[in-house]
Structure 1
Amino acid sequence: MKAMILAAGKGERMRPLTLATPKPLLRAAGKPLISYHLDHLRQAGIREVVINHAWLGDQIEETLGNGEQFGLSIQYSREGEPLETAGGIVRALPLLADDKSDWILVINGDIWSDFDLSRLTPPADSDALLVVTDNPPHHPEGDFHLTDRGWLIGDGPDKLTFSGISLLHRRLFEGLTDQAGKLGPVLRKAMAEGRVKGLYHPGQWVDVGTPERLQALDRKLGNRESESHGGQ
């Protein structure tokens, strides 16, 4: 299975940090945010990764190269003018084409999580598997309801937040172009047809959307790093 990291956003909520640095290269505990995803993908057995980019994308390519330093093979989907999330995936599909699997592991570039990606296995009876987690303070209403039988639906009590980590089947994007817009409506349509499953993650997850949240993550990971060294 191949993976795709969505990294084409301008990071406007992160300004002024993103005026000269693309958001995926902002650092937490000394490492670019996107490096955590690459490490987790390798640990989960993924070897081929596609990264889409637009804003300051050359910096991403210069920093990550062909992926060899991470034990991966990285290809780039260059958008120029950033597409929305579903459109970006559609644009990258030729790079993601793989005879071995019609499933793609997709990760938003602006999150951090300790979720174990090896937990993701393609469900036999749906077109998507989304990782959901507890609602953060800045998003108390959540996104989707996870039923007792593991299905995700657009509305319902006790909604959870979509983590930005998912397995998506190519069928989701049939008939769509790179002007398809955001991924949310595509997922909601599939949910209405009973084609989306959910997996709850009780662990750590951060939507690194503002400088304040980046600083908090930097402190958290820095403390964790110092504790691990202290215990050796």
Structure 2
Amino acid sequence: MDKSCELNTGTVVYNPNYVPPGSTLLSSSEVFSLRFKAIKSWDRPLEVLPLRYGKDVATIVTLFSSLLVNHHSRLFFNLFTRAGITYSLVTSVVLPTTLTYEMFNHFVFKKILSGPSNSMLYPDCITCLELRGALIMSTCGLFLPFGFSYVSSAITALLTRSYPVPDPFDSKRMWRMFQLYSKSLRTVGTSLLLSQSIIGAGLVFCMIKSNHQMLKQHSSSGSPSEESIETV
């Protein structure tokens, strides 16, 4: 069985090989545009809060976690002044935060809004979308700041001589320094990994639930309507 969801004068179907007669097949970008306009004009804003601000919450959480990782990294390398702070913030805070917003918007938000009304027909299963949200949050909120902070702080420490950074070509001592760095962030890193993964998956779950509720109310009110199409 294939499902279709009528939007204004067009119909978006999950399987383009079975388009209802007399309907207009919309592209995913057109579907997203129509759905996004509906969200912004929804008469009960609380019901669509996860859809409207889900990616913003993910971005803010990543911002704070990146700042925390960057702070601990600079403490490890004894960087108590403003030396190298701009370079450090750009690489380990601004970049991961921007990536979180763009990736959450493209790989989660747009996928949910442009998907079919029947959750069983999602091109990406609900669990896959939740795992994707968790992966985006943990990667941009922990792993990227962890790596970028290490490199930027080590370079600054080498220039300011605030920490005995070994010769970059001495692989054994560099590896030992990295182990010490990882150990110093073990507790914070583990906590951030769990929290980022849970928040990422939870946000996606709430966004999908809000989307289903919105479509259900649209269907019950007759605008848009939902139509079932039997296929072989």
Please report the TM-score for the alignment, with normalisation by the length of structure 1: 0.25
Greater relative CO (CA pairs within 8 A, separation 6+): 2
Please report the TM-score for the alignment, with normalisation by the length of structure 2: 0.25
Higher helix share: 2
The structure that has the greater radius of gyration is: 2
